[in-house]
Structure 1
Amino acid sequence: MLSPKSTEIVRATLPAVGGAVGEITPLFYRKLFADRPELLRDLFNRGNQAVGSQQRALAGAFAAFATSLVEHPDTYPVTLLSRIAHKHASLGITADQYPLVHRHLFAAIAEVLGEAVTPEVAAAWDEVYWLMANALIELETRLYEQAGVPAGDVFTDCRVTGRRAETADVTTFTVRPLDGRPAPAARPGQYVSVQVALPDGARQIRQYSISGQPDGALQFSVKRDGEVSRHLHDHVGTDDVVRVGAPFGDVTLDEGDAPLLLASAGIGCTPMQGMLAHLVTTASERRVIAVHADRSEADHAFRDDLPLLVGKLANAEAHVWYERPAGAWPAERTGYADLSTLDVPAGTVAYLCGPLPFMRAVRGQLLEAGVAAADIHYEVFGPDLWLVAEG
């Protein structure tokens, strides 16, 4: 926890720092990339940097952590830290990178806030930074140990053993390690990082949800959206080699016996596909409600797989909504997903994945149906701006 003196200083200066993070974080990244251009080339998502979503996520996370330290001094924001640690581990972030971030972040804070950053203010916020950094380092160390890899050494050369078009813009890739070992075990709902060499020499990394684990392999599905996904669609085929990271991700299927609701929209169906496949493999008898929303039948990845998997479960049902169905389709299933029409059992644990407006709407409907907020879990593709906004 923060020292008493630092707590008072952080509480007093939080509005000023929080109000300036929109200036601080872009300046921080400019300083960082000027010093280490290879980080933008080979580690950070250039697309997220260009639109500013990564800057907003960092700013929100740092401010949310500081606020938590002041308002709840005896606890850490576990969910926030876990989400960041899993993403860091998937990228191979190591403890020795935190001093570099500290140097450029605090240089940016001093430049933006000027004389307001007295030695006492700098020391208090330094304490905040290292409390957060050390908590993340500890979590990431544990994740590397659980994955059975040295810290940061998460990538393995894998051969593409299968490629299947799910829709016009979604393709599933099946990969196996080149060394002949089985792919690392993954929990349903996790993702892998995939690193590709782009024409300009950059080696960019993106995360993709695991949509299945067939016979010692890993399967991930990619929507054609962004420079890495376009490269995978256009240039990576069967027998090609890609670098794939160990599975990470903290939104994983609960192994209890509570009823489940899996709600997805668009490409958000990929982690749900992996969860359903796991339930089938384990012959689960849990009550399962699978919900999916999409633009049309043609846009629905795994459209044929969904009823097949649900049909193999003892107590499962599927509900699908299309905004613009191409053929005959029930009127009550046309438009946006409306979970208020479903019978959601007491004690349901829900998992959501899709665009933020969809997840906000579904979460609200589930809360209205009596699902506990703590039992509603979600996965976001890209920087998690929703989590930091909620604190």
Structure 2
Amino acid sequence: MNRVKLKVIIFCLLFIFAGFLNMNTAKAASANIEISADKNPVTVGDTVYVYINISSDTMFGDVEAYLIYDADILEYKSGVSFITGGSGFLRISDINISEEDDNRKYVLEFKALKVGRCEIDFTGSVMVYEFESGMPMSISSNSYELEVKPAQTASDNAYLASIKISPGELNPPFDKNIYKYSTNVGHDTNKLIVSALPEDENATIRISGNESLNEGDNKVTVTVTAEAGNKKEYEIQVTKESAPEDEINIEPITPDEKHGKFELVRIDNEIFAVYGGKYKLVEPGENVKIPEGYTKTRTIISGISIEVYAPKQLDSDFLLIYAENELGEAKFYRYDKVERTLQRYVDEQVTVQMPENDFVEDNSTLEKYRSNLNKAAIIIAILSTLCVLLMILSVRLYTKARRSKDKKRK
């Protein structure tokens, strides 16, 4: 009889240990995501296909992720229907999968717009769910850098043919081989009008620092980018006279659509938004309330990766940027991804409708996952206690059996 009991106990212990092994195996389920391209480098104007390959040793189903890239360098053209977005931010929502896979591949078509290096990466959590249990898997992924080179026939001429300013005059007179100039303006001049023409018609020109002039020294920069991607900078040192005391009237600097193209620049390890002045990007303090309906993420603008606040309605063309203007006032600004403009953000203008199967679904999945973890912890505790009791019982039965044999021998 004692032998039968001992066999039953040993069987129970083996069953419990097998359960632990299965739980550890389930916990170790993971997937690897690799980003690659059909060719690298590419030239301006080329079509390039970016591949996202998901592989796992466990069958998986739904996949949700967010992909960022530099919209100045690459333009998203097409992909499968469940990949949506653009302007540097794509959403992958491959959900409600009826068939399991251990390998899956997505193909995204891009067009190379201009010379540069474009980083393609995931932002936020990448969610790959195990097919049978529906539990999130452990994910490893890479960041991919795509280089865009100029066409072989591209010109490297980055010289200016002329610069004209109003008001004032350049000192010395313009010469394409002279890169530093100066001028003086009156206290009532807030903007220096700069007209610059490149020698090569395919070169592009960007002018910064010529608006919202401050008293004293100001630096206006004319950047010429050749078709081949090389650059030259012409600087104008603008000295603005001080206003008489009875005429001083400081008004907040507010960007609007008349200021030209929005750009990001990095100066002394700090990032500035250039749009009718410089706006230093800063981190919101603990007392700053994030507008309702927006979530923190990252995007790439002008080749620089920054933190932004995106509406949960992913088809929106707007992002929020927290920045400090030239008067030291920190606030939210609304960036238009399509028009490349910046405006002061007004909270009451935003009405966000939560789309179905979006972040609410993510939260419910996370809560379900936590609930399952809590249940698993309770089961493990009960099974561990039962295991200890069975081991104690086994020892006692074994001892009792030995004593019984010893008595029979005597």
TM norm structure 2: 0.22
Asked which structure has the greater CA Rg, the reply is 2
Higher helix fraction: Structure 1 or Structure 2? Answer: 1
